[in-house]
Structure 1
């Protein structure tokens, strides 16, 4: 496995995480405002990215799907950003529609949502 050799920026992490799509809404987790923060540490095999993320509902049954997509987005492919990825699921502050980016709002409107 190829490991990342440089510390990824928050912009690079966000760009990669745009490939992670909320399975219920069909919008990426960055534009939905589900990624609160990202930390990068140096592990024995390379960079370790830890994400502070939330979900639209604490009862969401699809955390495994989102976690698998995030792992692929950050540690997979020909140029992985990290050797390892972890998610801290956080519930404070609670997610709300105010966290959705302008791009996310446009995508939701295109799907028929009123946001």
Structure 2
């Protein structure tokens, strides 16, 4: 079982993994793009990610969640990864981090 500190460290590692996955249409990682709505880590190393896509018709709707699952699963302490897609609330550019908005020239 993981301690609270280890769970926080794992959550931080998961965020770093997510920051290395990019939306193919927008040159910003999916975390700063605001596609990750929730991230939970259990004391058994299970990771649950609630995410969205920029639109329901996103061309990577089939592959992006699988990529997230596979890359997060590579972390040593992770025992299971569940990725759930939601469109509630719908993604909007205001969900992007300030850094992402600056990178894309959105003010």
Normalising by the residue count of structure 2, what TM-score does the alignment of the two structures yield? 0.78
Q: CA RMSD in A?
A: 2.4
> For residues 36 and 26 of structure 1, what CA distance do their matches in structure 2 show?
19
2:69 matched residue in structure 1: 71
Structure 1: gaps spanning 5 or more residues? none
Cα shift readout 1:28-59 (whole Å, capped 9, x = no counterpart): 101100001011235xxx52211010111011
What displacement does 1:84 show? 2.0
Structure 2: gaps spanning 5 or more residues? none
Aligned length: 103
Normalising by the residue count of structure 1, what TM-score does the alignment of the two structures yield? 0.74
Matches within 5 A, 1:85-96: 85-96=81-92
> For residues 38 and 57 of structure 1, what CA distance do their matches in structure 2 show?
20
Structure 2 counterpart SS, 1:103: helix
